[in-house]
Structures are given as structure tokens and as C-alpha cells.
């Protein structure tokens, strides 16, 4: 068995219990339909380098690394979560494909985007910051590269233009601004899927 299929086999075996534990502990990890869309878009992009903003315990990171064979740079600000992620990647045997960074995405995205070119960017951290992450990564995204963003409908509150409840206002307003940006037909070919919490796939033109 090749190293890649060996890892894929291990990931398939370990994944269900790992995902179930995350849900039990209320650690947000990508949901099943969105994971399918994520892996499908990443494989189609033919990327050799991925940036993931928001690692949590490294569930989606492992899938991205195994299914694409690309190098994955991933950012998380919670040290305990990142430690669990690193242990999981070791168990899967995919740690050699993953560079993980502990810290605030606002700073790390700017730093990594200045140092690398990306074929695929998965935005999955602070929902009020998607629009800023997009601005920061855009110059480093290859032509034909993909930005994939999860939770873009945010509890359904982002749809339409109703004035949002006070406690969700910043996220909703900023997410609408993000959706306007990825709707720019001169810059992106974008599809927004109404699965789970809303998922956007944007190809850079
Ligand atoms: C939805 S989870 C990521 C889930 C992961 N992509 C998956 O599907 O397995 C979002 C993560 O982003 C992290 N996060 C939120 N704001 C951040 C920031 N400003 N900088 C770095 N990480 C951040 C949170 O701690 C959380 O673990």
C-alpha cells in the first residue's frame, strides 16, 4: 500500500470517533456536506499549497492534506486545540505535510500571504473577519485558485437584508460585505451553496 493510501485508510478509520468527540465537546468542526464540498473543490483546484484559517483540532486539516497531497499551512489561536491537532496528524501520519501556526489570524494571514503563493484558501476562523482575510490573501492567491468559506449564511441571518439582532450585528454586516466582495464578477467566479450553514466556493479569475 502506498504512503498516501495508507494515511487515507488511517484517517477514514480515526475520523468518525474524532469528529464525534469534537461535537460532544462543542468544538466546531466542518459538517459532513460542507466537508464533501471542501474536498471536492480542493481536489479540483489541483493546488500544491493550501492555507487554512481556523484549525480547531485539525479535523479538516488532515482531510485536506490527505485528499490533496498538498502542503497545508494552518492557523489557530487556541494552543490546547492546536496540540490536539498535532497529535491527531501524527496518528494519521500526515504531520509532514502540515505547517501549523499558533497565533492571531489577523497577523499570521498577512505574514503567510507575503511569504507564499496559495492555490486554495479555506476561511473558517472569526466570522466577523472573513472580509479582511479575503483582502489579505487575495494577492497571494494564484489565478484559478480557490477561496472556500464555511458558515457564510451564519445561522441564516446573513440571507436577505433584514436588520440583524444586536448581538449578531457585526458578524452579519461583515459577512454581507464578504459576500459582496466574492460576488464581484470581475474578480471571482463564485457559487454559494445553501448546505448546512452556507458555503462559498470562489475561483479567482
Ligand atoms: C470553525 S473552527 C475551525 C474548524 C476546522 N477548520 C475544522 O473544520 O476542523 C474555527 C477555529 O478558529 C479559531 N479562531 C477564531 N478566531 C481566530 C483568530 N482570530 N485567529 C486564529 N484562530 C482563530 C477558533 O479558536 C476555532 O478553533
49 lines ligand 1 (CB under 6 A): no
Is residue 183 classed as helix, strand or coil in its secondary structure?
coil
- 1: pLDDT strictly greater than 70: no
The larger pLDDT score, comparing residue 23 to residue 154, is at 23
Domain count, the chain: 1
Nearest CA to 198 among 67, 37, 63? 37
Question: What average pLDDT score do residues 190-197 get?
Answer: 93
Quick: pLDDT tens for 41-62. 999 999 999 999 999 999 999 9
Encode burial over 141-179: b for 16+ CB neighbours within 10 A, e otherwise: bbeebbbbbbbbbbeebbbeeeebeeebeebbebbbebb
C-beta 123 within 6 A of ligand 1: no
Q: Are 166 and 131 in contact (CB under 8 A)?
A: no
Q: Tell whether ligand 1 has an atom less than 6 A from the beta carbon of residue 119.
A: no
CB distance 103 to 110 below 8 Å = no
| Residue 180: predicted pLDDT | 95
Core vs surface per residue 26-44: b (16+ CB within 10 A) or e: eeebbbeebbebbbebbee
Cα 160 to chain centroid distance, Å, stands at 24
Indicate whether residue 150 lines ligand 1 (CB < 6 A): no
Q: How far is the CA of 16 from the centre of ligand 1 (A)?
A: 20
C-alpha 43/C-alpha 65 separation (Å) is 10
- Average pLDDT of the residues of the chain: 95
Asked if the model's pLDDT at residue 4 lies above 80, the reply is no
The residue whose CB lies within 8 Å of the most ligand 1 atoms, and thus the one to mutate among 125, 131, 148, is: 125
Q: What pLDDT shows up at residue 5?
A: 86
Domain holding 90: CATH number? 3.40.50.150
pLDDT of amino acid 58: 98
Domain of 7, in residue numbers: 3-204
Helix (H, G, I), strand (E, B) or coil at 106: helix
At 140-176, the pLDDT tens digits run 999 999 999 999 998 888 887 888 888 889 999 999 9
Amino acid at each position: 500500500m502506498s504512503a498516501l493510501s495508507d494515511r487515507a485508510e488511517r484517517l477514514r478509520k480515526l475520523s468518525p470517533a474524532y469528529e464525534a468527540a469534537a461535537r460532544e465537546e462543542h468544538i466546531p468542526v466542518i459538517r459532513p456536506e460542507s466537508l464533501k464540498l471542501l474536498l471536492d473543490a480542493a481536489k479540483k483546484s489541483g493546488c500544491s499549497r493550501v492555507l487554512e484559517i481556523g484549525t480547531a483540532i485539525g479535523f479538516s486539516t488532515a482531510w485536506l492534506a490527505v485528499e490533496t497531497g498538498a502542503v497545508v499551512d494552518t492557523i489557530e489561536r487556541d494552543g490546547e486545540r492546536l496540540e490536539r491537532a498535532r497529535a491527531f496528524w501524527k496518528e494519521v501520519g500526515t504531520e509532514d505535510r502540515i505547517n501549523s501556526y499558533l497565533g492571531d489570524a489577523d497577523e499570521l494571514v498577512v505574514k503567510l500571504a507575503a511569504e507564499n503563493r496559495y492555490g486554495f484558501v479555506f476561511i473558517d476562523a472569526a466570522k466577523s473577519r472573513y472580509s479582511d482575510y479575503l483582502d489579505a490573501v487575495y494577492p497571494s492567491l494564484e489565478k484559478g485558485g480557490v477561496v472556500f468559506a464555511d458558515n457564510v449564511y451564519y445561522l441564516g441571518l446573513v440571507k436577505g437584508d433584514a436588520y440583524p439582532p444586536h448581538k449578531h450585528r457585526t458578524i452579519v454586516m461583515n459577512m454581507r460585505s464578504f459576500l459582496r466582495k466574492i460576488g464581484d464578477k470581475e474578480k471571482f467566479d463564485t457559487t454559494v451553496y445553501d448546505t448546512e450553514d452556507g458555503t462559498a466556493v470562489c475561483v479567482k479569475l
